[in-house]
Amino acid sequence: MALHNRVSAAELKKRLYEETFKRVTISFYQYAKIEDPQAFRDALYLSLFELGVFGRIYVAKEGINAQISVPEHNFEAFRETLYKIDFLNGIRLNIAVDDDGKSFYVLKIKVRDKIVADGIDDPTFDMSVRGKYLNAQAFNEMVDTTDTVIVDMRNHYEYEVGHFEGAIEVPSDTFREQLPMAVDMLKDQKDKNIIMYCTGGIRCEKASAYMLHAGFKNVYHLEGGIIEYTNKAKEQNLPIKFKGKNFVFDDRLGERITDDIISECHQCGKPCDTHVNCANDGCHLLFIQCEECAAKYDKCCSEACQATHALPPEQQAELRKGVEKGLMFNKSRRRRNRV
């Protein structure tokens, strides 16, 4: 069989919405040494395809990073499949907080240089020397002390719609930029407890190792990130110190943690935390848009994009010729501010 999809996206989405069973959205990661990422990828694809798993998985010599949806009736078989892999035996699976089962419609497994693009090229950096885990209860206890700094290791568009109370934003468009920025921002607070957090744990775990590498001593990271924290806080009836929505990298674009709306529509300023991609195929800018502005601008980010979106498809395709691919699906705050 082919080890990649050959069906159109439109057909795959149609099939997804015709399914009569439920799906569970899951994320997991593990830093581990994989000698032959391509062979590992191919074997994993065959196993997960047979189970009807959809999603996006990155494999590299440093480990695996996965965001997927699993048919509910195949969940146990899926877990058993993972647990048969030595370095994934017993792996924590982050179950989505707010899930409609429509997060993914196809299985994509890609081999990458790294499972998180970090920009680190220092050969002395050691990922095995990382910060201490904090579970939900320990996190709540530590953040209430005065000698603690909470650092959000997600991008600006994630922080904008939801974050922990008192968390510091590292204002950047990419994780690779954030690492040295975080070191510089906190250089005068090396005597404090530094807690790093992210969506599911993969970025803050690497960030904690980077901070230790930079000379910080008391570094912690939130076990399982926002997703695991929220699930455990609800199970244990703990106060939830995260406010707003947790941005996720799938078709949902967010999962509701609390009813707080801490951001606003980028077009009219009304309280809103709904992320959308501009409907103009030559733009696809990620931005926040309320229902009224979605109707007014036909789900576009600007009047210019709305005018383009209204053109016949052939004319739109002609206008897109020569447009830099880097502008597609752009999440940059700098670009958004120019719209």
* Residue 244 · residue 97 · CB < 8 Å: no
Q: Classify strands 255-256 and 242-246 as parallel, antiparallel or unpaired.
A: antiparallel
What's 303-333 look like in SS3? HHHHHHHCCCHHHHHHHHCCCCHHHCCCCCH
pLDDT in tens, the chain (339 residues): 557 777 888 898 899 999 999 999 999 999 999 999 999 999 999 999 999 999 999 999 999 999 999 999 999 999 999 999 999 999 999 999 888 889 999 999 999 999 998 999 899 998 989 999 999 999 999 998 889 999 999 999 999 999 999 999 999 888 999 999 999 999 999 989 999 999 999 999 999 999 999 999 999 999 999 999 999 999 999 999 999 999 998 888 999 999 999 999 999 999 999 999 999 988 889 999 999 999 999 999 999 999 999 999 888 888 887 665 444 444 545 445 544
Tokens encoding 144: 């209430």
**The length of the chain, given as a count of residues:** 339
Q: What 3 state SS string does 38-100 have?
A: HHHHHHHHHHHHHCCCEEEEEEECCEEEEEEEEEHHHHHHHHHHHHCCHHHCCCCCEECCCCC
Q: How many helices (H) and strands (E) does the chain have?
A: 12, 15
Residue 109 phi, psi (nearest 5): -125, 120
State which amino acid sits at residue 75.
Answer: F
Question: What stretch of H or E contains 230?
Answer: helix 225-235
Spatial strand order in the sheet of 63-71: 94-95, 23-31, 63-71, 54-60, 107-111
> Quick check: 193 and 218 in contact, CB under 8 A?
yes
Marked catalytic residue, from 198, 204, 290, 301: 198
Q: Is 312 helix (H, G, I), strand (E, B) or coil?
A: coil
First to last CA, the chain: 45
pLDDT score for 145: 87
How many Å is the maximal CA-CA distance in the chain?
A: 61
198 is catalytic: yes
